[in-house]
Structures are given as structure tokens and as C-alpha cells.
Structure 1
Amino acid sequence: MRVRVVSKPSTELKPLLAKVEASLRAHGVDVEERDFDAVVAVGGDGTLLRAVALGRPIIAVRAGKRGLLMDVPPERFEEVVERLKKGDFREENYRTLELDLFGKTYRAFNDVALLTDGVGTATFKVSCGTEFSFDGDGLIVATPQGSTGWSLSAAGPYVDRSVMGTVVTLINPVLTPMRSLVVNYPTVRVSVLPSGEEPHINVVIDGNKVGKLEGEIEVKTNGRPVTIYRFFDFDPVKLILRKDP
């Protein structure tokens, strides 16, 4: 078996990365940069996103204060390698979002956000099995795993990763009690209604700004899944609610 190890650039992680690679090689697992079967992600949420972009199954090793989807404690990595060789793990498949923008197809593991750029709100029209309009600073379309991030900070709900649904969270909506809804619909369509001076709306995918909204955007909620090899049970809610810094 061949794996690639990814992490954020950090001098603090160098000793751990050295142990991870040594453990892999000691068990006959090749560490490669280009031709590999799986990815060992060592770090937190940002590292997991980098691993997702590589398009291979992921082994998620938690290192740092964040990392709600990282199930492998670093001190148990030796055990994980042994179980990996035996096939003693379960596969979890995570739904993603897809959208075509500027002639390119993007995939989001966590969320797609539409945000006003500058002063003032915009009027958004949303179609996701139901249709509604609202004035606000933007909205977030999130997967269940993405519900623990930006959407949660904007008063969206936590959605368990087993739920077949998509979160639509409104950012600072004006004169409406609704802040978020969870839908099970193949697409979420969003456009901005004309209202005087046209606002500039940024499109942000998994935290990266990719451009401005032009016309209507369609987010598909059944994108190509991401596979994570799971070795241990874990509870994101406990990590969200923990009080240590």
C-alpha cells in the first residue's frame, strides 16, 4: 500500500510527522508524493480540506486544538497502521456540494457562502424545495459535516454527519425570525434580486474566495463523496462544547 502524508507547515509537528512516516515504513507501507492509494492527514480542519482535494480515502490523525472530524489520536497511530494493513476499519462517505462557476466545476466539503461586499444588505432569492426571499448579508449552504463550522457560528444548527440533508443558513437576516433550515433537496438555487445599487456578492468555497456572483448560482447537494477510513468512535458535539482553550 502507498500513502501520502499531508500536514500544515509547522515546526511543532515535525517530531510527530517523523514518527508517523517511520511507523508507516516499519509496517511496509510506502510513503509517496504522487502515486498513492490513501492520504494520512495530520492536523486539524484545514489539513483535512487539503487531503480532500487529493481525491483519495483519508486517515484523519488529530493534532491541534481543532479537528472535529479527526478520529485518530497520535499516540495510537501505530495501532492504526496495523489495522490498516488488516483492513480493520470502516469507511464513512461524506456528501459534498458541487457548483459550476466561471466555466469551472467546484466541489465543497464543508460549505459554499455568498457574502455581500461592502456596506448594506442584499435581497436574496432562495429555492431549495421551498422558495423564499430575505434581506441580509449573505447565506451559507453547508453539508452536515460543514454544519460545525461557519454555519454554526452564524446560528445554524449542528447536523449529525449521518443525516441526508443540507443546511441553508441566513447571515444577519433583516426582520425574519428564521435563521436556518435543513433541507433534503438535490439543488439550492440562489440569486440576488435587483434593488437600487447592485451589491457585489462574493462566492466563498470552503473558506476560499473564488469570485463574484453573476446571475443565479446552483449548488448541487449530491456531489462526489469523500471517503474517510474510521478506526475509532468520536463525538464532534463534545469537541464543540469543550471549555478548554
Structure 2
Amino acid sequence: MPTIGIFVNLQKDRYLDVTRQLVDELTHQQADFYLETSIAAALQIPEFGMEEEELYRNCQVLMALGGDGTILGVARRAAPIGIPIAGINLGRMGFLTEIEIGDLKKVVRQILAGRYEVEHRMMLAAKVTGPNRPEPLEIQCAMNDLMVTRHSVNRMLRVVLEANNGLLDRFSGDGVVIASPTGSTGYSLSAGGPIVDPLLPCMVVTPICAHTLHSRSMVLSRDEEIRIRAARPEEAMLLMVDGQESYAIFPGDEIAVARSPYEALFLRLQARDFYSLVRNKLWEWSQ
């Protein structure tokens, strides 16, 4: 049986009720499992606690309790190590968290018996270079998207986009989001981008509030390298990773976005039906 590492979003499971259910079932099945040290202490089982870094090093399967945001953070850390993730949905969207609370017992037995498939999801990487940067800023893993936006809120950003074969677009607006296939249902969708199958090998480039009639979302091959810079060399920008991490982009910097060398691994416990999921979630959003 695999050793299971458990990550908990305390904002979603404040009183650890769902975490206790999971721990009780794992204990009943005599499984090897560990939680973050503080969570194990709160549950009064400190012997099952590990520091976060140790969980990634010593576990073969990760279970994340929370919403899609919880999965994004765990996926960025787990991908370079190659550990698969199972998401337990305590959030609202649930695109990445497949498991519902009522299915916990059944799911635990499936995982311990090895009755699952591993789905590989493409991720993005970015490299930032510039005359005012002593060494490049490298981001190895973005699960959903990389967003480049204006640093100053009181003026539009003039963006220049280039790809392998030359100029893609030049426009004024709030910025641009480069989404992975998985991230096409995130910020890119809100900015007018298309929904693409998460297993499709591509990148989605979507302008944010472009002040032009011609700038539209584009779907590019995963083999492209997309280069982003401000048209005004003196302009600073901001780079956001999955909406969770932010980096200052100095005047004169260029951001190169490409396919990450790493993939996120997700446990699939039932037949995949992405289109039903999208249909149901879009209906929920409209309520």
C-alpha cells in the first residue's frame, strides 16, 4: 500500500471534521499516512505528523482537502517530484478536486488497492531576463496560468507578444494571461478565452481587457515559446503564478513562457467526463 500524505486547507475545514473522517478511515484500513505537523497535533496524533517538505519526500500519494486553489499549490510542489494527487472537494468550483466528501470511504479503499489511473497534465514555465536583473528569474511550474499585468493601476499597459515565428500581437489593456489546458477554465475563461480539453497539448493566450477590436484569445501549440514585454521600456509589470504568487517585472524585462519540463499527476478514480463537469460547473456559476 502507498504511504499517503495529507494536506488540509484550514479555511475550508476549520474544525477538521472532514480530516477526522479521512484519518479514521485510513486508520481502519491500517494504512500508512502522515499529515502536516500542526494538523497532526491538533488531532492529537502527533506521531502521524511530518514537516511539509518531508511529506513531499516520503509519501507516494498526496491527498489535498480544500478547493481548486489548494490543489494548485500542492501541484506546483509535487510535480518536480512526480507524486500523484487526489483532491477532496471542500470548495465551490471543484474542477481539480474530483472526490466528494460522501465518497471518502470508497475512495480510500480504491487508492489503497491501487484501483486508479494517473492522469498527466501539462504545466507552464517562465523565465524572466532583463538588463536590471543580475540573474534570470525562473519559474518551473505553473498549473493553471501565468498572468502579466500592469504594475500601476492608473494607466493601461502596452503589451508586445511574440512567439517562435515572430510578432503575435501588440495591444493596450490590463495585461495578458497565458493558460495551460487545465487553466483554460480559470482566469482565461473570465477574460473571454475558450474552454479546451485539459489533455490537449496547447497554450491559450488571452488579452485582458484589450482596448482594441482585433486582439482575441489564441490557442498555440505546446511547443511554442511566447515572449512578453512592455512596449514602453520604462514600464514595470507584475507576473502572477496561478493567482497565488507574484513577482515584480522590472523595466526592460522580457518574460519567456513555455511548456514546463514537469507534469502534474492526478489520480483518476472513475471514468473521465470533462464535458459533463464543465456543463455542471457553468450552470452552478450562473446561479
Question: TM-score with structure 2 length normalisation?
Answer: 0.78
Once the two structures are TM-superposed, the CA of residue 243 in structure 1 deviates from its matched residue by: 3.3
Residue 93 of structure 2 is matched in structure 1 by 66
Residue 120 of structure 2 is matched in structure 1 by 93
Once the two structures are TM-superposed, the CA of residue 104 in structure 1 deviates from its matched residue by: 4.1
Deviations along 1:138-183, one digit per CA (max 9) or x if unpaired, are: 1000101111111111111111112111000001112223321110
Q: Which amino acid aligns with 1:181?
A: M
Residue 138 of structure 2 is matched in structure 1 by 105
Residue 182 of structure 1 is matched in structure 2 by 219
Q: 1:128 touches 1:183 (CA, 8 Å); kept in 2?
A: no
Cα distance, 1:175–1:200 mapped onto 2, change above 3 Å:
same
Higher helix share: 2
Once the two structures are TM-superposed, the CA of residue 186 in structure 1 deviates from its matched residue by: 3.0
Cα distance, 1:47–1:13 mapped onto 2, change above 3 Å:
farther
Q: Which amino acid aligns with 1:125?
A: V
Higher strand share: 1
Q: 2:122 touches 2:199 (CA, 8 Å); kept in 1?
A: no
Residue 114 of structure 1 is matched in structure 2 by 148
How many correspondences in the alignment?
A: 243
Residue 240 of structure 1 is matched in structure 2 by 281
Residue 162 of structure 2 is matched in structure 1 by 127
Cα distance, 1:31–1:169 mapped onto 2, change above 3 Å:
same
1:15-164 to 2 correspondences below 5 Å:
15-32=17-34, 33=50, 34=54, 35-55=58-78, 56-101=83-128, 103-106=136-139, 107-118=141-152, 119-129=154-164, 131=167, 132-164=169-201
**CA distance in 2 between partners of 1:129 and 1:238 (Å):** 35
Residue 204 of structure 1 is matched in structure 2 by 240
**CA distance in 2 between partners of 1:111 and 1:77 (Å):** 30
**CA distance in 2 between partners of 1:71 and 1:243 (Å):** 16
Higher mean alpha-carbon deviation, 31-40 vs 230-239, is at 230-239
- The Cα RMSD (Å) is 2.0
**CA distance in 1 between partners of 2:90 and 2:157 (Å):** 40
Of all paired residues, the percent bearing the same amino acid is 23
Q: Which amino acid aligns with 2:22?
A: V
Deviations along 1:185-236, one digit per CA (max 9) or x if unpaired, are: 33111111227xx332111111121222442110112431010011123433
**What stretches of structure 2 of length at least 5 have no aligned partner?**
35-49, 129-134
